[in-house]
Structure 1
């Protein structure tokens, strides 16, 4: 036998042995291992809704989302939470347009400026997709319903709280999240109306924070530089009061400046406990989210819904807070 024939024979034998080894190995795996698990059953949903917030990563809107998600689970809804990362009206409108184009069953969104918002919502409604506004209404549009705070009333409550909590002259600076957002405009207007007949109270300036605690802090610092007579602040968005408090605390003016803010974010509660923020307007974002999804399901089922549902609004001060765990009296063993 030639060397070439011997080499070919050896290679063939080697390949045969390798093939057998693989066959034995995989046969062993089949015999000794559990079969792959069945694919998870795909959940079925009755409806597909989209919740479009003012900005995705805002802690307040995360509470709205949480309530909406709980309702979605209960009522068999696929819920998407989509919108601008930071407040941006163009991105907000684009999200609504894309949601409508994808033929979702319903859209839940914060109301925006009438000039841009109304034509789009009317178009969406005209194409057979119901729209519910949440947190901020858009009454000029054909939206089906609104659920959320009465923002004028909440501003009025804030103004009356300042009147009740202060003595002597109060020179007030207002820091608002936006000069253009309807809810912010209404909160400022309500506050102004609440104090306009109080001769000892003057509104010195109104500044815009862009719904940013950093910008709110910058505005508060500049106000105190430009208007040293200011001894009271009103913040109309969840982050404004926090930004103001940071500046007041750093300036060691806690006993000289009155602050009333909005919402009950953990930092706000902490500042209330420290006596830096004196009061805050309490909204119900979780209830808004839950109620909006429940309301939309009712529409899908052909039921009538109330065109306006105002969630509860109230003032919270340090005396309204529960005692922290370390301050509670121990229960007798």
Structure 2
């Protein structure tokens, strides 16, 4: 075969491959923002599914706004994706649950919709077929239990949260408060179980790591006798590990003696290393890679009309300084 013919054959094969890719139906994952390492782990799971299912008529397609603070951008992407003829199903991690619910209603989808990582509010649950991800209430409850174990007599605390309308984070906060109070549906701790949330808290950081570290620094400056932080998403640790180290360097003695206790969500980036260093009492982590890897299969089941559980939980990983070497699910 001469060189010119080889070039023509290669071009034809490339065109054929491109055409096949174009014909694949999209299993769309829309996350809160592409600037967050947590969501990149979801993307890695999505890409692994693609690699293992290269001959499938479906392709996992990962997208989202550039920043987790762009709630309107995420809602617009959801509407755009639901309007595309090659979208076969969609999995959404709502940054602003009511806003995403309105976007779904406006799009009037003809394909299956599910939520991933974060859910819609209970009153909007009928807009999606299932939720895949963390049991967020349990996650927050476990954070509360770790704090309670470290400081059984209670004290003052501050909750560090993400977006104001992110349902997953609000559920975690609810779980933490219930664990600490020994009651159900406590809106704010005012002495229940010995715990009191200080003025100015909770702090909403919009999932911004440096902003979270700065908020902790400001709170500690204003409240030097604060007993605890509960960080309901690991943004200050995985999003700004060096500033977090610099902050905790100033409070090494208090953290070592447990006069100041910090418990945090997630086990990604440098978080486990920070636990090993004794800069956080306990981590309760999610499994974002598993979410991204499982989501396409769940969407295909929905497309094919198969029975899918609601919710589908992906489990937790719990880490302390003592268990940091073995705490992550392999």
TM bin, normalised by shorter chain, reads: 0.7 to 0.9
Q: What is the aligned partner in structure 2 of residue 331 from structure 1?
A: none
Q: What is the aligned partner in structure 1 of residue 62 from structure 2?
A: 81
Cα distance, 1:119–1:177 mapped onto 2, change above 3 Å = closer
Secondary structure, in 3 states, of the residue corresponding to 2:77? Answer: helix
Aligned residues: 293
**Conserved in 2, the CA contact under 8 Å of 1:83 and 1:95?**
yes
Q: What is the correspondence of 1:109-258 to structure 2 with a 5 Å cutoff?
A: 109-124=92-107, 126-138=108-120, 139=122, 140-141=124-125, 142-197=127-182, 199-204=193-198, 205-241=201-237, 245-253=244-252, 254-255=255-256, 256-258=259-261
Cα distance, 1:42–1:34 mapped onto 2, change above 3 Å = closer
Secondary structure, in 3 states, of the residue corresponding to 1:319? Answer: coil
Picking from 311, 315, 322, the partner of 2:314 is 311
Unaligned runs of 5+ in 1: 1-29, 324-333
Picking from 55, 59, 76, the partner of 1:94 is 76
CA–CA distance in structure 2, aligned partners of residues 167 and 185 of structure 1: 24
CA–CA distance in structure 2, aligned partners of residues 294 and 152 of structure 1: 25
Question: By how many angstroms is 1:170 displaced?
Answer: 3.2
CA–CA distance in structure 1, aligned partners of residues 248 and 175 of structure 2: 27
Secondary structure, in 3 states, of the residue corresponding to 1:62? Answer: helix
Q: TM-score, normalised by structure 2?
A: 0.81
Segments of 4+ moved more than 6 angstroms? 30-34
CA–CA distance in structure 2, aligned partners of residues 95 and 199 of structure 1: 43
CA RMSD of aligned residues (A): 2.4
Q: What is the aligned partner in structure 2 of residue 8 from structure 1?
A: none
Which structure's CA Rg is the greater one? 1
CA–CA distance in structure 1, aligned partners of residues 225 and 149 of structure 2: 20
